[in-house]
Structure 1
Amino acid sequence: MLRLGIVYIVYGLLCIYNYSEIYAQTQSITFENVNVIPMHEEVVLKNQRVIIKNGMISKIESALIEPTQQTDIIIPAKGKFLIPGLTEMHYHLENDVRDEFKLLVANGVTAVRNMAEYEGQDQIMIREQANNHKFLSPYYVTTGPYLKIHDLQTEEEVVAVVKKHHDRGYDYLKIADNLPENIYVKLLKETSKYNIPVVGHGQRKLPLEYSLRMKSIAHVEEFMYILNSKQKEDTSYLKQVADMIKTSGVYVSPTLGVFEMISRYADDKKFAVLKKSDQIKYRPRAYAAYCLSDTTHYRSNTWFTAPESLIRLEKELEWQKGFTKILHDAKVPLIAGSDTYGLFLPGFSLHRELELICNSGLSPYEALKTATVNPARYLNRASISGTITTGKLADLVLLNKNPLQNISNTQTIEGVVIHGKWLSKEGLNKMLKEVEEHCKTEEE
């Protein structure tokens, strides 16, 4: 996926925001009369009492019986719905880390996979501080730098790059889509020595089977380029491809929203609407100004802006949605990721991604699994995350409406529990206001 071509990195880690009140909170919590969507099956457990102690789900019981445990905080939740915290599986840190993590948490995101380390960043430091609760953050894992063909020109360079990834301690190694066969095969061999999963783009110049040797493929869009025109139009063949992907064990992240966003930039009418988005206030002024200018390649390149290009983009998005459904029907594990950049803002973007996954033909429950159960399995956290069951981490989202009736209801957030700490709607709104104010003054 092409990016806007500009990255603003502002480090807040050297001057960590004071969230002592949040992390000093040691109270136990009870959700009273809440409707629980546990996510290990498609069911709503009505009028439950969920008790949280020491950051874990201590007990789930009927609210009709007398409480078996006492807690410090009681949250009346009659008519509300509790779901597991959401996971963003394709995130890019492009601005102030404190601001972006606030956007994520305010949108119910409690776990994140970062997909690149940009120049000037120290993603290992970010990960260590985030996961040691030095500042408000989702659980965090990261790739190293996004590796392109010029980074891996010889097999000797492959050996050195993989060793550096191991020495630095990155969770994943991310690659571009056009590696030569010998380089790609060597890369897989070297990463297997250190048990570093390879993720990223499919290999467009190699047969499909090569791409299926990775841990995960970052965009369903990749299959548009791996397959030829005739293959893409053959539904029977696409089902065979989906079966191959299922057999391989590869996870696929559709990232439909970021592709949809291209046409919102390229189409003049859609761009005029985008300029009025209320979410722009959560981006630094200079960064937002660039995104809203006509100098970005999505605005200046006729490959995107010509009338026939706009029609092509719409057809390509529909193909991707159709193939997403085929993958789902073949039981390929799908993971929700929105490839955050530009005005496709962290946190907010994941909700749009879930809508598009649902619009591809999945039920709301099936779409919600791509941001809860499936990522937990992928991240080797299924024993502690992904569902609402006793003994798991208390990373939860309280909603005002049932997301199993309409996936858009994931946006009706009343509060978030992260690391066992309760953040009310008032607290979340305060965080968003802090981001807005910081973005106003960042370049002043």
Structure 2
Amino acid sequence: MRRAGTPGRRPLLAISAAVAAGLPGGLAGAGQDTFIALQSELFTNVTVIDGRGGPPRPSSAVLVRGGRIQDVGAQGSVAAPEGAVVVDLSGSYLIPGFIDAHASPRTTDELRALLAAGITGVRDGAVSLAAFAERGRGGFGEDPVPALYIGGPVLDAGDAPRGAALASEAAAVAEVARQAADGADFVSVASSVPPSWLVGIARAARRADVPLWADRRDGGWLLALRAGSAVASPLVSGDSELLPERARGPFEALADAGRVPGRIAWLERLEPHGPDVDRAVTALLSNDSALMPLLASASAPLDCPAESATCTPLSDDERTALQAVWPKAEALVQAFHGHGVRLLVGSDAPRTRAWGEGFHREMQLLVEAGIPPLEVLGMATRNGAIALGQLHERGTIEIGKRADFLVLEANPVADIRNARRISLVVMDGRAWTLGPDDAWRRVRFN
């Protein structure tokens, strides 16, 4: 067993210079260009937050070899193989890499920004047919980027500019089978797809064993849930079925007239703990479906990114009105969470702030709504992996999982904003840090 910074025994592989500046504890020993054998790393003296819901575990150790977590446990209980490098992470916190359940990155720069925010996996929920054909599942050069989960072109109806244009339910069912055969991670359905097609599409998705994501349905998501959608979103849905029956007509009239932004008119009439919301809870739990709140997106008009064409700024009066009814959105997410509905974290970028910032803003809004930071961290890691069918590979710190994790400088359970204080990103066992020039550099421990 070797301490970081000591020379290797059997020179086999040439490696690049490590970046030591600003790294915690034993990481400062990673330095010069040298030659080392393939090795194991034992990350020690670290507080582990494993994403499974248990409390932080101080004085822990994590053994990594071959891109996988080989062992994890209390300090002194994890045996290091001969030649393993010990990396002292005193004062640091180790958590699973984040999974952004809803974003649409298009360039290496956008993916790099997501990774800088600690996002090691991202679901691209709105890739266009042209982009899918041109890019496939890679093509981002040599930079480290998050694992990208793509379902293929969004199922769309009629003259569809952003997905697979489908003329009939039969064509939609055939497209589901084609995407599944192509290795799609899920199937996405646009709001333009007629409700009458949803059951057939859902059955085709079940036959192909791929999850159906029918989020952002016009008029809400309850119908898609009943058809078999695996995920509902957003929380502020505009679904009149979640409103008291007496309020549905007036809300629909206001929304149709465009006199009041839909989210404001909807929240004004919402009863977060009423029987109509209870029925939505039942639909989610009965289907074992997840809910992706997208609170950052719903509040994005309060702070629209300049480059976003999909975010319409509010007038001063509308801004005041949204702030006045926002506590109802918080009470609604509390209601779903309190009933045990599985919640996901999605940034909805580029509708939200700068790439990666929307994800952290979403976590902060969930905490402000009353959900404990430890549970929000589980939503941002484990729940995302479950929704993507990837829990066997990522989402928690467990033996056999991919070594995809973050090293933080401060405790995110004490303050969720500390989840931004990332000193090291490890993906598939490879450690990276972002240099002062915003370029990624590989960190070697020797």
Q: TM-score, normalised by structure 2?
A: 0.75
Mapped pair 1:39 → 2:47: no
Q: Report if the CA contact (8 A) 1:220-1:255 is conserved.
A: yes
Q: 1:113, CA displacement in angstroms?
A: 1.0
Task: Flag the structure with larger Rg.
Answer: 2
Q: Distance in 2 between matches of 1:324 and 1:357?
A: 8
2:415 paired residue number? 406
Q: 1:115 to 1:232 in 2, by over 3 A?
A: same
* CA gap 1:262/1:28 in 2 versus in 1, 3 angstroms: same
Structure 2 matches for 1:72-91, cutoff 5 A? 73-91=85-103
197, 200, 204: which one aligns with 2:211: 197
Which residue pairs with 1:184 in the alignment? 198
1:243 is aligned to 2:282: yes
1:124 Cα deviation from its structure 2 partner: 8.6
CA contact (8 A) 2:219 2:239 kept: no
CA 257–75 in structure 1, closer or farther in 2 if over 3 Å, else same: same
Structure 2 match to 1:277: none
Matches of 1:316 and 1:146, distance apart in 2: 33
The runs of 5 or more residues in structure 2 that have no matched partner are: 1-14, 18-34, 159-164, 248-268, 442-446
- Equivalent residues in 2 for 1:224-243 (5 A)? 224-228=239-243, 230=247, 232-233=270-271, 235-237=273-275, 238-243=277-282
Asked if the contact 1:202/1:223 (under 8 Å) is kept, the reply is no
Amino acid at match of 1:428: L
2:394 to 382, 385, 392: 385
Deviation of 1:252 after TM superposition, in Å, equals: 1.0
Would you say the 8 A contact 1:218–1:254 is kept in 2? yes
CA shift in 2, pair 1:124/1:198, >3 Å: farther
CA distance in 1 between counterparts of 2:124 and 2:302 reads 25
| Paired residue secondary structure (2:61) | strand
1:358 to 361, 367, 390: 367
Q: CA deviation at 1:185?
A: 2.6
The one-letter amino acid of 2:331's match is: G
Show CA shifts across 1:244-300 (max 9, x none).
Answer: 3112211111111122212213xxxxxxxx7xxxxxxxxxxxxx6x44xxxx5755x
Please give the per-residue CA displacement for 1:380-414, whole angstroms capped at 9, x wherever unaligned. 23233222222222111111111111111101111
2:438 maps to a residue whose letter is L
Cα distance change of structure 1 residues 404 and 416 upon mapping to structure 2, 3 Å threshold: same
- Establish whether residue 155 from structure 1 lines up as the match of residue 194 from structure 2: no
Structure having the higher helix fraction is 1
Retained in 2: the 8 A contact 1:152–1:158?
yes
Instruction: Tell me the distance in 2 between the aligned counterparts of 1:205 and 1:167.
Output: 31
| Aligned residue in 2 for 1:100 | 110
Are the aligned partners of 2:220 and 2:237 in contact in 1 as well (CA < 8 Å)?
A: no
Residues 363 and 124 from structure 1, CA distance in 2 versus in 1: closer, same or farther, beyond 3 angstroms?
Answer: farther
SS of residue paired to 1:60: strand
Secondary structure of the structure 2 residue equivalent to 1:121? helix
After superposition, the Cα gap between the structure-2 partners of 1:86 and 1:71, relative to the gap in structure 1 and judged at 3 Å, is farther
Question: Which amino acid in the other structure matches residue 233 of structure 1?
Answer: E
Give the deviation of 1:110 after TM superposition: 1.4
Cα distance between partner residues in 2 of 1:202 and 1:371: 20
| Residue of structure 2 in register with 1:270 after alignment | none
Deviations 1:337-382 (A, max 9, x none): 1111056233232111111111111000111111111122222232
Contact kept? 2:128, 2:153, Cα under 8 Å: yes
| Distance change in 2, residues 1:77/1:70 (3 Å) | farther
Q: Does 1:138 align with 2:146?
A: yes
Q: Out of 390, 411, 434, which is 1:428 matched to?
A: 434
Q: Distance in 2 between matches of 1:364 and 1:207?
A: 27
In structure 1, how many angstroms separate the alpha carbons of the residues matched to 2:238 and 2:270? 9
Structure 1 residues 361, 251: closer, same or farther in 2, change over 3 A? Answer: same
Aligned length: 378
Alpha-carbon distance in structure 2 between the residues aligned to 1:185 and 1:396: 38
Distance 1:124-1:407 versus aligned 2 partners, 3 A rule: farther
Q: What corresponds to 2:6 in structure 1?
A: none
User: How far does residue 434 in structure 1 lie from its aligned partner after superposition?
Assistant: 7.3
Aligned AA for 1:232? L
| 1:193 Cα deviation from its structure 2 partner | 3.4
Provide, for residues 191-240 of structure 1, a one-character-per-residue CA deviation record: whole Å limited to 9, x for no partner. 33333322032544588354342011231122545533547326231234
Structure 2 counterpart SS, 1:352: helix
SS for the counterpart of 1:235 is coil
- 1:62/1:215 CA distance change after superposition, 3 Å: closer
Deviations 1:52-77 (A, max 9, x none): 11111122344357964345543321
Partner of 1:439: none
Q: Tell me which residue corresponds to 2:331.
A: 322
Question: Residue 92 of structure 1 contacts residue 340 of structure 1 at CA under 8 Å; is this kept in 2?
Answer: yes
In structure 1, which of residues 212, 215, 219 is the aligned counterpart of residue 234 of structure 2?
219
Could you tell me which amino acid in structure 2 is paired with residue 114 of structure 1?
D
Q: What do you get for the CA RMSD once the two structures are aligned?
A: 3.1
How many percent identity over aligned positions? 22
2:133, 2:186 → 1: CA distance?
Answer: 12
For the structure 1 residues 29 and 142, does the alpha-carbon distance in structure 2 shift closer, same or farther, using more than 3 Å as the test? Answer: same
Amino acid at match of 1:51: L
Letter in 1 for 2:153: P
SS in 2 for 1:113: strand
Question: Displacement of 1:329 after TM fit?
Answer: 0.7
* TM-aligned CA distance change 1:51 to 1:166, over 3 Å: closer
C-alpha separation in 2, matches of 1:178 and 1:79? 51
Is the partner of 1:371 in helix, strand or coil?
Answer: helix
Question: In terms of mean alpha carbon deviation, does 324-333 or 307-316 score higher?
Answer: 307-316
Determine the C-alpha separation between the residues in 1 that align with 2:59 and 2:210: 44
Q: State how far apart, in whole Å, the 2-side matches of 1:402 and 1:126 are.
A: 38
Matches within 5 A, 1:339-358: 339-341=348-350, 344-358=353-367
Q: Hey, what does 1:15 align to over in structure 2? A: none
Distance in 2 between residues matched to 1:306 and 1:128, nearest whole Å: 41
1:127 aligns with 2:141: no
